[in-house]
Amino acid sequence: MTTPLSGLNTALRRSFADVVDAAEDLLRTTADDAGAECRRARRTLDANVRTAKAQIAEHAKEFAADARSMRDDANRLVRENPWATAGIGAAIGLIAGVLLRRR
């Protein structure tokens, strides 16, 4: 099942991967530049890319854990209160039907 958050997470990962790929391409294309300043900039960029990769991996793990926790909480709530859940769903459906019919 795809949720808006999982789509956002996928888009964020893809964008980050594009930035990392661009930085790595820059590092490869400037590998032959011999200037001390260029070497220092490449080392800094390489360290920043590695740090960013590690941070995004950690954030992705935290995001996944939070999403699983929210899923489990919602599942537990529905199982503990099935009639209330059905009532809320019916009310939302009724309101949506009334609003759509007005158009």
Residue 13's domain comprises: 4-102
User: What pLDDT score does 7 carry?
Assistant: 63
CB contact burial 38-68 (16+ within 10 A = b; e otherwise): eeeebeeeeeebeeeeeeeeeeeeeeeeeee
Q: Is residue 69's pLDDT more than 80?
A: yes
Q: Is residue 96's pLDDT more than 90?
A: yes
Q: How confident is the model at residue 73 (pLDDT cuts 50, 70, 90)?
A: very high
Q: How confident is the model at residue 32 (pLDDT cuts 50, 70, 90)?
A: low
Q: Is 3 within 8 Å of 70 (Cβ atoms)?
A: no
- Count of domains observed in the chain: 1
User: What pLDDT score does 98 carry?
Assistant: 93
Could you give the C-alpha distances from 43 to 19, 23, 36, 46, 68, in angstroms and in order?
17, 12, 11, 5, 38
- What's the sign of the alpha-carbon dihedral 72, 76, 79, 83? negative
Over residues 84-95, mean pLDDT: 93
